Structure 1
Amino acid sequence: MTTRLAPGTTAPDFTLPTADGKELKLSSLRGKKVILYAYPAAMTPGCTKQACDFRDSLASLQAAGYEVVGISPDKPEKLAKFVERDELTFPLVSDVDKKVLMEYGAFGEKKNYGRIVQGVIRSTFVIDEKGVVELAQYNVRATGHVAKLRRDLNLDS
């Protein structure tokens, strides 16, 4: 069983390649709140819907002090196509060996169409300015998740 992160724990730091060929180090975002969301595969219907929801909400999330980062086991080349195709305006990081996903508890056993499989557990983590997990949500739905997250963070009041 994968260990899940709980609020109050320090978010595991990472340095991973991005869709644009650079690297992103989580600790370089200290001083900002970060929404890190884990998704199974770029350019699939659910993951596209979720990424586009984050894209469409990005300005209001940034106005509230949040940066958004997506993480998946896709190679940077596939992420670059995803960014270009769907005009994504936030960084996507590649965790091909799934090490970071496992550290976050976002890779392991899950149900897929009634079968138990190993894979990415669609998850969202809100990390505060000091690198501490404020919110850890597992098995989130692709559709409607950003709206629910905004409610959870009291951004729509």
Structure 2
Amino acid sequence: MTIMNNSQKHYVIIATEIIIAVIVLGFVFIKSTSKPATKTQAQTQSSETSMADHHKPKAADSAVFDGLLGKAAPDFTLPSYDGKQISLKDFRGQNVILFFNEGLMCYPACWNQIVAFGKDNAFKDKNTVVINITVDSKDDWKKAIDKMPELAENTVLLDTERSVSNLYGVLILNSSMHRGQFPGHTYIIIDKEGIVRFTQDDAQMAIRNKELLAQIEEL
């Protein structure tokens, strides 16, 4: 049997104490990390969850929009970019296309559609008026015109309070990239008697002149 001298015994004691200390510290660490969240932590987590929910886009809901078909189009009056007050009833006796769009922030898709409407004489030939509706302010829409001057040749109404967009249910459709705040790319055809005859929410945001003219042919 090997007998340890005093020096060896001293080192063994120190090593044992170190091992015990490591075990104790590890136990304390495990206990501290497994504690339930404090009230402050819970409040922070709840706040973060609430903020995340706040920034989630609203769920798409087409109930109001779908309910328009076959009914009298709700009347409205809005200011145009050039300062006129335009009412839907002013166009009774003509077919009307309402094009709800995201306006300034929808470059180039919505802008291209607005310009395409203005350049297409086929709509005038079919006694059809195109009304473009955006929720932009006048100053914001001016920025769009400055970038694409052809936009100024078209009738654009400013629904800054979103009253008409809400009335027609176009703020929460699939095409809106900012659902609840902006329309997307949405068409409504109203016949000469003021009845909604066609609706389309176009998430592809294409130019739809041909399709719309085909629908007007059927009126």
Q: Match of 1:90?
A: 154
Query: Structure 1 residues 27, 127: CA separation in 2 closer, same or farther (over 3 Å shift)?
Result: same
Q: What is the root-mean-square deviation of aligned Cα atoms in Å?
A: 2.4
Q: Which one has a larger percent helix, Structure 1 or Structure 2?
A: 2
- 1:18 paired to 2:76: no
Please list, as runs of the form range in 1=range in 2, the aligned pairs for 1:1-157 lying within 5 A after superposition.
1-2=61-62, 3-4=64-65, 5-42=67-104, 44-57=107-120, 59-80=121-142, 82-83=144-145, 85-108=149-172, 110=174, 117-118=179-180, 119-139=182-202, 141-154=204-217
CA distance, structure 2, for counterparts of residue 142 and residue 103 of structure 1: 22
How far 1:55 moved relative to its partner?
A: 1.3
CA distance, structure 1, for counterparts of residue 115 and residue 175 of structure 2: 24
Query: Structure 1 residues 140, 148: CA separation in 2 closer, same or farther (over 3 Å shift)?
Result: farther
Deviations 1:6-55 (A, max 9, x none): 32111111110101011101111111111111011236211111111111
**Helix, strand or coil for the counterpart of 2:71?**
coil
Percent of counterpart pairs with the same letter?
A: 23
CA distance, structure 2, for counterparts of residue 124 and residue 72 of structure 1: 13
Whose relative contact order is higher, 1 or 2, with alpha carbons under 8 Å and at least 6 apart?
1
How far 1:68 moved relative to its partner?
A: 0.7
Deviations 1:70-96 (A, max 9, x none): 001011333355456125433110001
**Helix, strand or coil for the counterpart of 1:150?**
helix
How far 1:142 moved relative to its partner?
A: 2.9
Is the contact made by 1:16 and 1:24 (CA closer than 8 Å) also made in structure 2? yes
How far 1:121 moved relative to its partner?
A: 2.9
CA distance, structure 2, for counterparts of residue 100 and residue 107 of structure 1: 10
Structure with larger Rg: 2
Q: Can you give the 5+ residue segments of structure 2 that lack an aligned partner in the other structure?
A: 1-60
Is the contact made by 1:124 and 1:138 (CA closer than 8 Å) also made in structure 2? yes
**Helix, strand or coil for the counterpart of 1:37?**
strand
TM-score (norm 2): 0.61
Q: Match of 2:26?
A: none
Is the contact made by 2:187 and 2:200 (CA closer than 8 Å) also made in structure 1? yes
Most deviating of 5-14 and 82-91: 82-91
Most deviating of 20-29 and 101-110: 101-110
